[in-house]
Every structure is written in C-alpha cells, then in structure tokens.
Structure 1
Amino acid sequence: MDDDFRQAALDYHRFPVPGKLGVHATKRMETQRDLALAYSPGVAAACEAIAADPITARDYTARGNLVGVVTNGTAVLGLGNIGPLASKPVMEGKSVLFRKFAGIDSFDIEVDATDPKAFCDAVAALEPTFGGINLEDIKAPECFAIEAELRRRMNIPVFHDDQHGTAIVVAAAVRNALLLQDKPIEDAKLVTSGAGAAALACVDLLVALGLPVENVTLTDIEGVIHAGRSGMLPNMARYARQTDARLLADVIAGADIFLGLSAPGVFRPEWLPLLAPRPIILAMANPEPEIRPDLVRAQRPDAIIATGRSDFPNQVNNLLCFPYIFRGALDCQATEINEAMKVAAVEAIAGLARMEPDEVVANAYGGEPLLFGPDHIIPKPFDPRLILEVAPAVAEAAARTGVALAPITDMTAYRSSLARHAYRSTQLMMPVFEAARTRSQRVAYAAGEADAVLRAAQIVVDERLAHPVLVGRPGIIEPAITRLGLRIRPGVDVEIFDPTGVEDVHARLGDAYCDLVERRGVPPAAARKRVRQQPSVTAAMLLRLGLVDAALCGTPADWWEETRQVLEIIPRLPSATRAYALTGLIHDGGTLFFADTHLNPDPTAEQIAELTLMAADQIRRFGIVPAAALLSHSNFGASGSPSARKMRDALAIVRQQAPDLAIDGEMHADSALNAAIRARSVSRSTLDGAANLLVMSSLDTANVALTLATSITRGLPVGPMLLGMSKPVHVLVSSTTTRGIVNMTALVASDSVQVDA
C-alpha cells in the first residue's frame, strides 16, 4: 500500500473513536423500573430460569447470537506471527463482518498462548459465553490439533475459517468452473502449490464432493508430497503419491485444476501450455497471485482463473460463507459444523452464482449485470441473497445429520425471517407481502423498460406478489431481460403492454383519455400522443379502465408532473377532500412515518385531521399500531401562532372522529419521540411511549424532517404512498431501488386485494 492509503487506513481505525467495535445496550435504560428489570432485582429471575434449564440461556441472554473470534496471532494474514495484540485489528474486522452481513454479535478474543494445550484450555473455558467459536489466523500444524481438541471438548460449533471457509468457497468455484468447462469432478486431475492448512482443507472438501484421492498431487515449498517424505502434516499422508517427481514443474502436465495457496509468481507462464484443455486455475496468493490473470488469458483463453483479489474477476473470499454458516448453525442450535453442513454451503454458494444478478451487486460493480460464466463463477461478497441461500442450507444439513438441538421445521418462515438481514424493509413489509400473496393481482409498471423495474418484476414473480404488466416496447424489454440474466418470460410470467400499438385497446385508452382532458386545454391529438408517449398516463389509464388491478406510475421524469397526470386520471375517494403522501423511514431503532411529505404545501386543520386518519389506517396495514404526534414549533399550547392553532384544531377533530387513536399534540419532535421529555411538559398524554406517525404542519417541514432523518440515520425510505385514492396507485420517485419497487408492488397489490374484498 502507498503512504496515502496507509495513513487513510490508520485514520479509519483511529477516528472518531479507536477501533471498529463497540458495545450497545439492546434494552431501554431510561427509568428506575428499567434499571430494576435489567439488573437487581429483576435479573435474578433470568438467572434462576437458566440455572433450572440451561437451554433457556438462548432466550434470556445474547449467547445464542454471539460468536467468539479467537486467535493467538501466529499466522495473521500475510504478516505472519505478529502476536495476539497486533492481530486485534484483524479480529475486530472479522467481528464487524459477522454483524454487518449476518446480524451476529461477536467479541474478538486474542489469547496470549502459543502452546496448543494452554490455548485450548483458555478457549474451552469460554463456552458459557458463546454460541460458537470462529478460530482465526493460527499457524499450522498447531491449528489442526487445536480445532480437533476444541471440537471434542466444546458442545458448540468450532470452525477454523482459514481452513474451512477457504475450502468452501474454493469448492463452490471449482464446482461451477467444472460445469462451465464440461468436466466431471470424478475425472479431474488436481495439482496444488501449497500444502498447508487451507490447501489441505480445500482438497479434503473437493474429495468429499467426488474428486478421487488418486487424482490429487500436493506440492509445497519443498516439492512434491511423495510417499517417502518425512515430517508430513497429520492429514497429508493420504495424498502422498508413489512417484519419482519432486518439483511442481514435473507434475503440472495434464492438470485440469491448479490450486495455488502458496507464494507470488510460483506458477511460471511457460507451464500454461502443459495444462489440460479448458483448465481451471485458482491462484490465491495475496497480494500477488501465483500467476496473474492477464498472463493466463494471453496464452490460455480457454482457462477459467480465480484469485484472492477483489480487482480481478472471481475473487475467492471467505466472506461468502463464514457469516452465513454460523447464522444457520446458531439458529438451529447446532453442536458442531460438520462435513454435510460444509457441503451444503458449497452447493448453496455455487447455486447462487448461477442465478440472475442482484441490483445491489450490479451497482457495487459498475452497474453491469454479472451473468454466470467464466468471469463470474462465484457470487460477489455484497450479494444480499447469500444469507437466504447459505444459512437455510446449513440448518437443513445440521438437522439431517442430527447435530441440531432445535431443528427448523418451517423453512419457508425461516427464509422470510432471514430476509431482514438482507433487506431492511422485510420486517415492515412482511404483513403486506402476505396480503398481496392471497390473490395474484395484475400490476402495471409505467417504467417497464427500466432495469430496476425488470429486476423487480423477477422478484415479484418469484415471491408470488403480483402479475406484472410492463408498459414499454418489446424491442427494448425483451433484450434487457436477456442482458440482465432474468428468467421471466414475456407472455407467461409477465405481460408487455406496448403503448405504441394499434389494437382496439389502444384506441379505447386514447378515446377515454381524450374525454378526460379535452376540456382541460388538451386537444384530442395531443391527448392521444400522451397515451402513446407518457408511460405514467398509459399505466393510469389501464387502471382506470379496469384492464389492470393496480398501477405503479412514475419514471425518471419529474415526480410532481407525473403525479399531477395520475391525479387527473384516477380520482380521489368520494370521502376524501385531498390526496396526501405518507413516507415510512426504516432505521436502526424501528420505523417512523412522516406526513405529508410530497403533496400539500399548507394543509388546513381539517386536512391535517383527514391526513392523520388516513395515515393511521395505512400504518395498521403494516401490522403496526399507530401512535400519532402532531408536530409544531409550539409545545402543548406554548404558542398562539396560526400554525400552532392549526395543529391544536386538527387534534380536536381527530379525537372527535377517532377517539381510540393514540394521538397527542401540538408538540416538539423530542416530546413525540421521548416519553420522559413529554412528561416534563404535560402530566397526562394519550401517547404511551414514542410516536411512530409524525404529522407536520406544512410540506416544507415534513419533507425537510424526512430527508434530514434519512441522512442522519442512514435509514431506508418506503414510499411515498399516496393516500385518499379511489384505486390502488402510487407514483415512484426516480431513486427507488429494485427492492423499493418490490415493496411498492406489494403495497398496491394488497390495496387491490382489499378493494376487491
């Protein structure tokens, strides 16, 4: 690394506070009662329950979701034996990855013990603390004995990631590369450069997948591992060949797979022609591989190559597996991570690489879809679907092999619960998704040619949320489906409605739209042109005429103009005086709803009351009990300004029309969100705890509050959701992601189901 990058790395670790980890309470600690429950005397109840039944520690403590990342610092990255203290930044980093990618809490434990027995004694004594142990950066051959001893002594999963994590990802890469190269694993010949812990684990797992032992040749810095060699590692002897060959150059000829876990430049370019046709090369020395991909491609374009580097295709990265293996193991209370669980992880990772690419991954890697092929044989680390594929596969294998103390019986429900780690909106959207699945509704998408909509349509079909109707030109949509690697089939899974068509239905749309707007200053020719050229108009007209059940309008064009056009076509509910916009914000502390964020600049008291009631109804559909706060610069009558009086009047109207709704105001935002602060201003409030619906006095206030909160919390917006419409329709903002479109699809589809009911 250069000096600038080194300094940036040091600053990253030092500021704003030293290190990458912290400890945060998961329970409220605001009142005397909270303290009594958390510690003395309430904590005794949890202690007594665990003493009576130790398995309940999972219910009353964090142990069931806590992994120890443990090392003695004897083999840290490429730095070698730098000791436990110097290894701490690496272990903190590993702990952060557990939390980021799988929602697993983790403590890093650096043990000052190089003697295997002393190390094992220290780690085994920690079993009451953890649900699993991730061993890290321990040198061979001691790592073999340490893992075996800890697995024997501990009744929780013990996993040496340097060995088995590498092996799982390598095996997934080999599995897919062999598929692309049309080579059965039973016929493959493998040669290694390196015979340490990781290399042996890789070969052992490939043998478990069907690679014959006799097809394996190991080499290390001293040459070929042959039958007469002394001082071999414990599990090396099974691969010792009866051969006179002593050098890597002597055994490379005819190899189908070269597995490098050794040193830079070990594989010489002149050996490339000696490999078998369509070879597979895994050159994983870091930072410089055994041979560079550009040299391989120049001489062997028929080869598939993977490395350990992120700047080359096919990065073999342990991050693809270890968080999700532990997730599955913890969730079924596995007592170990066995061979079947590792094989299940291999198949899940390999299978994910063959799926259509995810938008998150495409955006992280330059926007190009990563289709299964020679440059994409394993998933990327940022693929949010890894947890959805790997954790259930591991949990199923644990149950199948009898090591799960709490086997997962409903795998569909388990996958749904895991989605909260992949997509932050899952918990909020789950009731809406279930409502949408009760009946397949036809949903029109105005931006049917957009990549994000097409990716969303694939998910909508897979999750049975709706039947997509894509507004757009087949000549654009069909090639895009192929380019994105999607499986949806036009005419089967999705419909394409071409607005430029000349069929009778197009004439109906044009005539109906003319009737709507010709006395609003839009001549018939211009009206028909809009139907053909403005997709939001087309989608809204399809909904108005009953040709679809719901619509998602909005394109990259101006949201306000698109919404105005939709409001011209889809009328409000007869009972509604206005249409309003509600936006949810999912953040680490839960979900807040803001209104009106997009439509009404200065609503009256009557309109604020109407908005509040509509917003409360919408929130109930998420399975959330609404608790509304009418926000103002004034706190409970402190000001007589027009805006404060407006909010007080709105409160009176709401309480008269919906006496059971939890609501209070006018109040400051901190009073709305903190009951203790609120109690200092008023002795009695109809709100209990924090409000989840924040209703503002003006559009400016609501929009500023939403965008400010989004920026500070790095939260995820859901919406805007149109309220008060007579038909199920929303208008997407241009920044809506694929997952956001999926969520909005579920909303309009469930709206439609509710209307039909």
Structure 2
Amino acid sequence: MDGEKKSEIGRESLALHAAHSGKLEIRSKVPLASRDDLSRAYTPGVAEVCRKIADDPETVWKYTLKSNTIAIISDGTAVLGLGNIGPLAGIPVMEGKAILFKEFAGVDAFPICLDAKSEDLVRIIRSLAPVFGGINLEDIAAPACFEIEEELQDLGIPVMHDDQHGAAVAVLAAIINACRVTGKCFENLKVVVCGAGAAGYAICRLLKCIGYDTQSCTPVKELIACDTSGIIYRGRPGLYENKYKFILGDETNSIHRTGTLADAMRSADVFVGVSVANLVTQEMIRSMGSDPIVLSLANPVPEIMPDKAKAAGAAIIGTGRSDYPNQVNNVLAFPGIFRGALDASATRITDEMKIAAAHAIAECVCDPTPERILPDPLDRGVVPAVAQAVKKAAVACGVVRNT
C-alpha cells in the first residue's frame, strides 16, 4: 500500500469512527415491549435466576452471557506498530478485535483497556473474570505479557495472548503449506526468526517445540533467533537479565552461531520477521538456501518488500499486509481458537489446541501455490474448520468442564 493510499485509508477510518462514535454497541437479545417482558428480563423474575446460580454456580454458563463472551484486555503498552500509546489510544484496536470476533466467530467480545501497572494486571483480570468465558490478552508489551498469561492459566477459562499465539499459529500454518509448495521437509528446516518480543518468542517456542509435548509438536531442525543485538546464543553477555531470551539462548541455535542477522540467514531455509522495517537486504536473501521461504511480517513496512525479496530469489513470500499475496494474519487463528474453546467448554487453551488450529488453517488451502499458501482472511470456512479442530483437541486433552 503506497503512501497516498495509506493516507486515504487513514482519513476514511477517522471518518468511519467519528460517524459511529466507535465500532461497537450492545443490543438486547430479548424483547422489552411489555410489563411482562420487563418482569421476566429484570425484576422480579431475574431473582429466580440469581437464586439458581447461587445454589449451583455452574448454571451461570446456562443462564448468562458468560458462555459466549470474552474480554479483550490491554494496557496499551504495545499497540500494533505504534508502541506504548496508552489505554485510551488502544481502544479503537480492541473495538476492532471485538467486531472481528463477532463477525467471524459469533463470539461476543468486550474491549477493556486498563490504566494499570503490569504488576497489577493479574489481580485486576482475576477480579473481572467471573463475567467472561474467556480472556484475550492483547497489545501488552513483553516481558509482562508472558508473565501475565502464565499467571492466569488457573482461572478455569481460556486465557490467550493473541500477539503471541495467534501469530505463531498463523506462521506455522504458512510454513506447513510453504513446504508443500517447495518440497522442503518441515523437520529438516533451518529457520531464522528476527524479533524476540511477544510474537517472536511464541513463534520460536512453537517451531522448536520449546515446552511443548513432543508427541504433538514437530520441531524444525535448526532455529536461530535474533534481536536488536544480533544472534541470540547461549552465554551471550547480558542474556541472563531477560528470562525469556535466556530460554531462547538455551533452547535454540544448537550450532552456536554468533554475529548479526546477516550471519544468521546464511544457508537458512526460512526467514520469519516480526521486527521492524527494512532490516533485510537482497544480499541476505541470496545467502539463504535454495528456494527460500521469506515471511517478512513487520507492519506497515516489512523487513524486506516482496518485490525485492522475489528479485533476490525468494520462492515463497508472505507479509502482514493485505495488499500482497500470502497475508499472515492473526484473524485466521484467534476467532476459531476461541470459538472452539468455548464450544468445548474448555478450561484453558493447550499447546495441542494451538497446533490443531495451525494444521486446520493449512488444510483450508487444498492446493497451495507460491501465491497462496494461506486462506484469505475473509474466507468464512476458516473459523468453522479451526473451531472444530480446536474443540476436538480440547476434548482429547481433557481440558473441558463437566457440563
């Protein structure tokens, strides 16, 4: 998308939001046309529903919105590519996420942007949890996002940080189908991931099966992660100061390569960029192995533009943008994952459920080509396929409520 078109979309988006005072509203499911309607929906009739839930808390799933409602929670510290712009400025993104949930998966979602320090978020989210059937953490900066998600896994409802796992699931699906096109063997792949924030960390964990059950997760042969200081390797000075980068240093880069991103990319089969614009040169692409797969996902400007990557010999190119083929978009993942989790009455989202989602997304493309390794984000067949796979995985894992 060129600068002129981007400016036009921006102006149109401002007008859209102003015309509707945002994108989201609440509507009643029941009529309120008579006194009897009022008595059933509110007092005195609602007291009977309250007594029922007080006697048997599990009936809250039957009698209230909880069974189909999630909270989209952010503190505004890592909003899109804009960074720490705060909870007020994050509201339009969370509203947008809510309407995507409703439009694609029929899930009712409510944006909650919190003005709170990261150490207070866990306590606040726990306090909010009773009304929701799931929690979608969104646009929370690393490393707090990792810690918050980990601490909330005992809530008894699905909790997922989409910037981590939605991205990882979409990337895994893209690589599965890129291998089908190029004839590469997934288990033999040498992968470079540029960016060690929320998305980068989760992508590394999933592709290398760090912390995953090896019976359900297939690791790539080699993975090298890079951050702003270059290649992450065991023993790199200062690495111990960040628990999550320390894990990457300990669990990846078995060949102990050091140096820059350019050094990491030599002979690699796959490049995954979740960092910043224009980091990758054509020479770096030429240094990769044969038929390289380049997923350059920085937004709005990728690490290398698709035309340059193609001219340098990339066989498969994906971006995070909607104006190029192979958009690697979280919307392929999160609506179906939460739909399946809610349908299964899941108590959490397991690694097996994420992997099942990735394979379901990949299978939505029957005959992948270099220009189409992923389904279109607007393909209405994706969510049902992902939801069914996720539900099946949840049942198999035994993480479902007794209903």
Q: 1:466-545, aligned counterparts within 5 Å?
A: none
> SS of the residue aligned with 1:403?
coil
- When normalised by structure 2's length, the TM-score is 0.93
Alpha-carbon displacement from aligned partner over 1:113-141 (angstroms, at most 9, x marks no partner): 1232x111000111111000000000001
Structure with the bigger RCO (C-alpha within 8 Å, sep 6+) is 2
Unaligned runs of 5+ in 2: 210-216
> SS of the residue aligned with 1:190?
strand
Aligned twin of 1:504? none
Contact 1:284 1:308 in 2 (8 A): yes
Aligned twin of 1:239? 252
> Which amino acid in 2 is paired with 1:210?
T
1-side partners of 2:22 and 2:402: how far apart?
Answer: 36
**Matched residues, number:** 386
Distance change in 2, residues 1:13/1:190 (3 Å)? same
Report the CA distance between 1:6 and its aligned residue.
Answer: 2.8
Say if 2:191 is the partner of 1:183: no
Aligned twin of 2:116? 113
Q: 1:726-745, aligned counterparts within 5 Å?
A: none
Report the CA distance between 1:5 and its aligned residue.
Answer: 3.4
Give me the identity figure in percent: 44
1-side partners of 2:84 and 2:243: how far apart?
Answer: 19
Report the CA distance between 1:107 and its aligned residue.
Answer: 0.9
- Of 374, 377, 381, 1:378 maps to 374
> Which amino acid in 2 is paired with 1:401?
C
Alpha-carbon displacement from aligned partner over 1:332-362 (angstroms, at most 9, x marks no partner): 11000000000110110000012xxxxxxxx
- Of 321, 324, 327, 1:312 maps to 324
2-side partners of 1:33 and 1:21: how far apart?
Answer: 29
Aligned twin of 2:398? 402
Say if 2:351 is the partner of 1:347: no
Aligned twin of 2:349? 337
Contact 2:225 2:232 in 1 (8 A): yes
Aligned twin of 1:255? 268
Report the CA distance between 1:192 and its aligned residue.
Answer: 1.6
Contact 1:226 1:242 in 2 (8 A): no
Report the CA distance between 1:314 and its aligned residue.
Answer: 0.3
Report the CA distance between 1:242 and its aligned residue.
Answer: 6.1
Aligned twin of 1:148? 150
2-side partners of 1:83 and 1:203: how far apart?
Answer: 28
Contact 2:181 2:368 in 1 (8 A): no
> Which amino acid in 1 is paired with 2:159?
V
Alpha-carbon displacement from aligned partner over 1:215-262 (angstroms, at most 9, x marks no partner): 111111111101112233423232255636211111211101111111
Aligned twin of 2:84? 81
2-side partners of 1:311 and 1:244: how far apart?
Answer: 35
1-side partners of 2:100 and 2:193: how far apart?
Answer: 30
Distance change in 2, residues 1:282/1:233 (3 Å)? farther
Contact 1:332 1:406 in 2 (8 A): no
1-side partners of 2:352 and 2:257: how far apart?
Answer: 36
Aligned twin of 1:223? 230
Report the CA distance between 1:406 and its aligned residue.
Answer: 5.0
- Of 16, 20, 23, 1:12 maps to 16
- When normalised by structure 1's length, the TM-score is 0.50
Aligned twin of 2:97? 94
Q: Who wins on radius of gyration, i.e. which is larger?
A: 1
Distance change in 2, residues 1:304/1:406 (3 Å)? farther
Contact 2:180 2:368 in 1 (8 A): no
Contact 2:76 2:139 in 1 (8 A): yes
2-side partners of 1:382 and 1:78: how far apart?
Answer: 22
Aligned twin of 1:70? 73
Contact 2:282 2:309 in 1 (8 A): yes
2-side partners of 1:4 and 1:321: how far apart?
Answer: 29
1-side partners of 2:135 and 2:360: how far apart?
Answer: 22
Say if 2:207 is the partner of 1:206: yes
Aligned twin of 2:139? 137
Contact 2:274 2:296 in 1 (8 A): yes
2-side partners of 1:277 and 1:8: how far apart?
Answer: 43
Say if 2:291 is the partner of 1:278: yes
Unaligned runs of 5+ in 1: 355-370, 408-757
Contact 1:74 1:114 in 2 (8 A): no
1-side partners of 2:392 and 2:9: how far apart?
Answer: 43
* Aligned-residue RMSD, C-alpha: 1.5
